[in-house]
Amino acid sequence: MSMHFQQWLQQGEALYQNALKEFHAMEAQLDDLETKLVSKQAEVNQIASVIGKPPVEGNRRLSAQLVTGQIIDEQERTQQPVANNANIARALTGKFGR
Q: Decide if 36 is inside a domain.
A: yes
**Buried b or exposed e, range 67-79, using 16+ CB within 10 angstroms:** eeeeeeeeeeeee
Domains contained in the chain, number: 1
Give the pTM.
0.51
Q: Decide if 70 is inside a domain.
A: yes
Q: Decide if 98 is inside a domain.
A: no
State how far the alpha carbon of 90 is from the alpha carbons of 4, 6, 36, 93, in Å: 52, 48, 13, 5
User: What residues make up the domain containing 40?
Assistant: 2-93
The pLDDT tens digits of the residues spanning 39-68 come to 999 999 999 999 999 999 987 665 555 544
* 96 DSSP 8-state letter: T
Q: Decide if 29 is inside a domain.
A: yes
